[in-house]
Amino acid sequence: MLLSGHGMVSDEIIRDAAQQVHTPFYLYDESIIADKCRQVLNMPNAFGLRVGYAMKANSNKAILQLIHQLGFYIDASSLNEVKRAYLAGIPLSHIMLTTQEAPLGEDRKQLENFISKGLKYNVCSLLQLQLIADFAAQRQIPLSIRVHPGVGAGESPSRNTGDHYSCFGIHLTDIDKALFFAAEKGLKFTMVHTHIGSGGDPLEWRDNIDRELGFVHKYFPDATTVNLGGGFKEARMPDETASDINDLGLYAQDRFKKFDQKNGRKLVMAVEPGTYLVANSGYLVCTVLDKKQTGPTGFEFLVLDGGMESNARPLFYGSRHPFYVVSRTGELLSSEYNLQSLDSENDQRVVVGRCCESGDSQSLDREGNIIPRVMANPEIGDYVIIGGVGAYCSAMSPHNYNSYIQSPELLLRQDGAIQMIRKPQTLEQMVINELPL
C-alpha cells in the first residue's frame, strides 16, 4: 500500500530498502521530485520563466543532478554550496549565489574567478556591492540585487526572511545608496530578487509580486528579470494546503502583462523553490527501539533510532510531519492519511529519538511542548516512518549530536530500483579531524 498516495513509496518498498541498509535512513522518491519540478516548470508566466532550485533544502549530489537535468539552475547560499554544485557537475553558468557572506582574501579571489566563468552574483548587502564593484565594472558584468522588502511571511517567525527581524538583502531604505554607488561605478542590475520567507501564506507571496514590480518600476530601469524567490508552501500533513502553483503563476502572468502594458517592459519571471520540489519526496525510516510511559497523567512514548539528529524541524520550528507505522514484515499498520480505524484517545503516542535531550521529539509545538499523536501501536523492531523529510532535514539537522552517524540516503528511482545516494557515515569519519592532547 502506498504511504501517502502521491508517490511510489509503499510499505513493501520500505521493507526492501531496510534490507539494504540499517535504519535510520532517508528514502527519497524520484517520481515525486520529477512531478514537482514539472509543476514549477509549467507555471504560467507572461514573458518567460527561469526556474531555480534552492539547494540548501537538500544538497545531496544525486538530487542536485536530478533537478538540474530537469532544467533548473541552482541557487546556492554560500561559496561552499557553489563549489558543491560545481563538484556535482553543474556548470557555473547555471548557478546563482545569494549569500550572507562577504568573502575576503582567497575566498574573494575564488568568487571573482567563478563570476568570470559565469556564476550569477546576487548582491545582498551594501558591503558586498562595494567589494564586487570594481571587478564587475571593469568586466561589465551585470549583477542581481536582493532587495529587503520590509514585509515577509513564513511557516514560523524564524522562517520569515522579509520582515525587520531578519537582515537578508539590501533594505528598501538603503536602495538609494546602492543605486547612487552603482551609478558612480557604471554597474547595472539586470535582475531584482526578493525572498520573503519559507512556507508562508500564499496570499502574502502573491502580494509580494505587486510589491516587487512596484520597486522594479521605481528603481531598476535595467532589470530584465524579476526573481520572486522560493518559499512556496508545501502540505506535509493531510490537514495542510499547499500553494497552488498554477494560481500563483496566473496571478503573476497577469501582473507582468499589466506591467508591460504600462511601462513597455517584458520582464522574465524567476522562482527558486527548495521545499516545494523535495519536501514530500522524503521519508525517514526508523526502527522502534523501546517503549516507555510516564504514568497516568503522562504519555506513552515510542523511542526510535532516529530523531532530531536526522530531522530537527519539529524542534526548530514546531513543524509537523506525518507518521506511518509499518511492521517489520512490511505491513502498513497505520498512516497519517487514514487514521479512522484507530481510537483517537487510546492510540495517542509520542515519538522520540534516542538523543539525551528532551526536545528530541518528532512531535512538538512551537513552544517545544510534546504533542501526542494518533498512530498504531508498533512492536519493538517495527518501523516508524516520518514523512515530508526531503527538505531541510538531512541538510539542516545537527548530525553527530550524541555521536550518532549521519544517516545514509537512498533514492527510489522511477523504474523502481532503490539506489544508494549517500553511504552511512563511519565513526572514523566523524572523528577524523580531531587531534589528541
Ligand X SMILES: Cc1ncc(COP(=O)(O)O)c(C=O)c1O
Binding residues (CB under 6 A) for ligand X: these are 54, 56-57, 75, 98, 161, 195, 198-199, 229-232, 272-276, 391
Cα–Cα distance between 236 and 242 in angstroms, integer?
Answer: 8
Nearer to ligand X, 9 or 153 (CB): 153
Q: Any idea which residue has 508566466 for its cell? A: 45
**251: part of which helix (H) or strand (E)?**
helix 245-263
Tell the smallest beta-carbon distance from residue 212 to ligand X (Å).
Answer: 13
> Least CB distance from residue 164 to ligand X, whole Å?
17
- Say how far apart CA 207 and CA 251 lie, in whole Å: 10
Nearer to ligand X among residue 276 and residue 323 (C-beta): 276
Give dist(CA 313, CA 386) in Å, integer. 12
Q: Which residues pair with 171 in a beta bridge?
A: 148
Nearer to ligand X, 159 or 354 (CB): 159
CB of 322 to ligand X, least distance (A): 19
Neighbouring residues of 143: CB distance < 8 A, sequence distance ≥ 6: 121, 122, 123, 129, 132, 136, 182, 187, 188, 189, 190, 191
Residue number, 199 or 322, with CB nearest to ligand X: 199
State the pairing for strand pair 25-29/225-227: unpaired
Nearer to ligand X, 10 or 78 (CB): 78
Least CB distance to ligand X at residue 54 (A): 3
How far apart, in whole angstroms, are the C-alpha atoms of residue 155 and residue 320?
Answer: 11
Residues in CB range of 210: below 8 A, 6 or more apart: 255
Rounded Cα distance between 242 and 239, Å, is 10
Residues 52, 231: contact at Cβ < 8 Å? no
C-beta closer to ligand X: residue 128 or 198: 198
CA distances from 316 to 76, 153, 155, 392 (A): 22, 17, 12, 11
Minimal distance, residue 273 CB to ligand X, in Å: 4
Query: Which of 22, 23, 20 shows the shortest CA–CA distance to 303?
Result: 23
Q: Which helix (H) or strand (E) holds 226?
A: strand 225-227
In whole angstroms, how close is the CB of 193 to ligand X at the nearest point? 7
Q: Is 67 helix (H, G, I), strand (E, B) or coil?
A: helix
d(CA 321, CA 237): 6
DSSP strand pairing (418-422 vs 409-412): antiparallel
Residue whose CB is less far from ligand X, 79 or 302: 79
> Residue 195 or 354: which CB sits closer to ligand X?
195
Nearer of residues 280 and 334 to ligand X, judged by Cβ: 280
Q: How large is the greatest C-alpha to C-alpha distance in the chain, in angstroms? A: 73
DSSP string for residues in 400-436: TGGGPPPPPEEEE-TTS-EEEEEPPPPHHHHHTT---
- For ligand X, give the closer residue by CB, 3 or 40: 40
Q: Label residue 291 left, alpha or beta by phi (over 0 means left) and psi (-120 to 50 means alpha).
A: beta
Comparison of 56 and 422: residue with beta carbon closer to ligand X:
56
Residue closest to 132 by CA, chosen among 147, 146, 118, 121: 121
